[in-house]
A and B are shown apart, each in its own frame.
Chain A
Amino acid sequence: MALMRRCAPLFARCIKIPPMTLQSQKIHRWVAPTLVELKRREKKLGGKKTNPRNTFLEWNLEAELYAFGKRLNEEFDSDLLLQAFTDRTYIIKEEMKQKEMGVDIPMKDNMELIAEGEKFINEYVQLYLETVLPKFPLEGVNEVRNYLTNEDRLAKISLSLGTKDIILAAEYPVDNYILANTFKAIVAALLESTSEERAAHFVRDFVITQLQGKDVNEYWNIEDPWTMLTGILEKDGSKVEPRLIGEVGKNTLLACYRIGLYVNKKMISEGFGEKIEIAKEMAAREALKRIFGTEDHMKPINFKISGIPKGSSQERYQIASN
């Protein structure tokens, strides 16, 4: 009996136990542990290292600068372009190096170009937006311009034009601030090496086109649309009348009210919401969009205006003065 009892586990091991589930899920259980181990080894060696592209054997700055202009279909002055890519931090680092070696080679940084480019971009984007959004108030235009010319946006554009590897800076990878500044400097370099029109088209093709597929109303937050709407309509001598034109599911969680705004017994807009106040606000927003010419079904923004357009800041609704 004792022998049998001792042999029982051996016996049981001999019988092949059929799997409980015939089809098992294929989960790659080795992936996460492998990645963790690789990460651990990388950390042990002192973190991930990114070598600057310009320290590679296959690197020729002159060829890169030439190709940069050709790629964008522009004729840059090569010295100006090199200056546009030279950041202040690089100059400081180089001067320290040169002092140690006892030589002195004068270099120019892109500080002046940045200031010039920033001024040009801001002015041109403002004029362009005033032309393509003729009825949009100045406050809204300014907000859209701020969106287009903020640091993150310009840095993203700069990165997508391939400036990251060419920039001469003390650090690598370069941060957003330097990327955005380089883009401004490039615009200034183009302005000086060709004409104002070429530079304007450059800004149009890479900055203004960022508005493609976007809703311009999103960038301008109107705090109190109802007051703004009544203010604008009072100037024209007409009075707006909100009417409740539908309500569903009153006193429930899924209530929905619909409000129409009427001027001289003609509906100008409608809005809906879970409360009457919200519906009224939404209707006012819709009416404002209609007045400003930025409805959901507005014509797409024209990205093909050539030359520098003339703005129209004088003939606009002055919201702030109300």
Chain B
Amino acid sequence: MDVHVAAHQHEAPTGFVRKYIFSMDHKVIGIQYLMLAMVAVTVGMILSVLMRLRLAWPLEKWPMLAHIFPEGFAGGPMTPEFYLAMLTMHGTIMVFFVLTTAPLSGFGNYFLPIQVGARDMAFPFMNMMSFWVTFVAFVVMLMALFATGGAPIAGWTAYTPLSAVGAIGGPGMGAGQTLWVISIAIFCAGSLLTALNFLTTVLNLRARGMSLMRMPLTSWAWFTTAILALLAFPVLLAGGVLLLLDRVGGSSFFIPAGLVISDKHLTNSGGSPLLWQHLFWFFGHPEVYIAILPGMGVTSHILSTFSRKPVFAYKAMVGAIFAIGFISYVVWGHHMFMSGMSPYTAMAFSITTMAVGVPSAIKTFNWLATLWKGQIRFTCAMLFSLGFVSLFVSGGVTGMLLAQPAVDIFLHDTYFVVAHFHIIMGVAAIFGIFAGMYYWYPKMFGRLMHEGWGKVHFWFSLVGVYCIFMPMHFLGLAGHPRRYAQLTEFKYLLHLQPLHLFISIAAFITITAQVIFFFNFFWSLKKGKPAGDNPWESTSLEWSIPSPPPFDNFGPIEPIVHHGPYEYSVPGAAKDYIMQTDPPEARP
């Protein structure tokens, strides 16, 4: 067996380009994805600052910004189309290039192979391709942001026919929207390669003794997420291709007959706007879980580690992850209750949507039960995981309202929905990413992040996100439709302006506080405390190897797994944790 001991599937590269840029090492690729996500999240946050400016002070003039974006501030205040462009690009960049790339492709690439005891992903070349394809997608998306005629304004959901009819639909609907569709299609291809790699790696490259039921819940989450990605992204790709053809090829997949836009008669006929919604949400709902499942995995892992207690009900946790993944394929219609879809279909989707709440609730119970009689250590990673649980509950319970078509008649497309999905798939997922970052940073870079600054960052983030998103529920209850550049046109909304002001100020403070994180990240690269192999006294395989890990992860030794992933505080054991690779005797 010296073949596989000696030969990593490729020798460690020595040149800079092969080592850091076109690297096939899953660890380098993981960091590349994380860097991409950090750039993307910065762009996304700047866009949200611009949006919040407009919402808090709709008609205020910003001479300095007008200098930077002369078209966006034509005539003084921010134009409504610029607001919608910011909204569209914020949603798209955050969902695709942050919430999909960081938790799945970033941490997953780095840690999935190590956690299951593999030396690399199954297909390293394909892995490198997946990153660079995603990178190209991001560049194209940035081009859409600066396209002639402006960035697209159709929202991240790009509902047809608005998104299909071309420049006639409004500012930004020409080149900007076309680039948007192309970027999304490219992104699909990159994500498929990632998903393929994850699945093959988990199924075929696990170390000796690493049975499926000994995998950490993080690996389970990445595995399930990869299944979702593998089957969901092709559907978005198909939709994207058809949308692109409607835009540039003159076809009518999504454009019905007899449309008259701005007094111009279109010649298309027979297309179906609802078809796009079905294709989009068939992808879109699993996508929500693609964003949140890795966060659930990280949270389970970290809660157990820092409570020094086994994860409560590991098997139920695995089952719940799978149940969520499976049910997420049959709930997409709950985005379409008011779309004109058959109301009978809505009833079926309502029940399946309620059903997906059950495994989600199970996970919450199990997290609380994991804390019960634990011995909690308040590290930054733990704080963010606890924040995740709180946010997951806050964002989850409102799903009970939105899942009912009758209640959704009122709440659909109001700020209530904005509050719901931002809390659960936005900031809860982001808290999962932060938890993972504080937890794994020492493994990736060999040094700990500064815990003190991390805690400051945590408090600003936690209080901040609640101040931003809780009030949005009240906007929604008052009937405030989403995606409005200002509320001043409607008398029944006027009394809500102070809430917008409050939210904007909270957003500015919270976003500014993220500078602390970025500073901590880069400062700790050089100045952080040396981490050692296992600073958190964790059990999974990545903590059994040096920080940062060598090129082939495990050196000359083949890892052999003897224990489950969460053996904390085993009575009678020498330490309060048994690593998965500890000899069988470690367990008394």
Q: Do A and B come from one complex?
A: no
Interface residues, chain A, with chain B CB atoms under 8 Å away: none
Interface residues, chain B, with chain A CB atoms under 8 Å away: none
